[in-house]
Amino acid sequence: MKFSQLMTSLCCFCWPLVGLPAPEDAFGLTTCAVYHRMIIAGYRSDGNIDLAEREEHLLTDFTRRAEAATIAEYGEEEGRAMFRENWNEEMARMTDLINRNYRNNRQLKVRYEKRCEP
């Protein structure tokens, strides 16, 4: 394999991972909250209620932290609106990523699982 082919392959694989927001900023926390929401939906659609319930505390924690960080950055009123907007954008993006099928959550796990651990 030529060097240029190798670099192209690496860039195509790694590019989606580069520049992802750190989970401690408001947007990164919102991304992780939505990720956990999508994982819960996948577990529920597969009938794994116990796994979904275990995941819910992560959803609650990331949602609370994301909303607090957004409010701290933008103020009460604008922060809540910004949080909802970020949530909706991330939800739409992740839903498109899994092709609107919660059983395709593998793509989300590959991209976000390590980053969104507690």
CA 91/CA 35 separation, integer angstroms: 8
Q: Render pLDDT for 66-105 as a digit per residue (tens, 0 to 9).
A: 999 999 999 999 999 999 999 999 999 999 999 888 888 8
Q: What is the pLDDT of residue 112?
A: 93
pTM: 0.78
The whole-number pLDDT of residue 113 equals 93
DSSP 8-state assignment for residue 25: S
DSSP of 36-92:
HHHHHHHHHHTT-HHHHHHHHHHHHHHHHHHHHHHHHHH-HHHHHHHHHHHHHHHHH
d(CA 49, CA 32): 20
pLDDT of 6-16, one tens digit each? 444 444 444 44
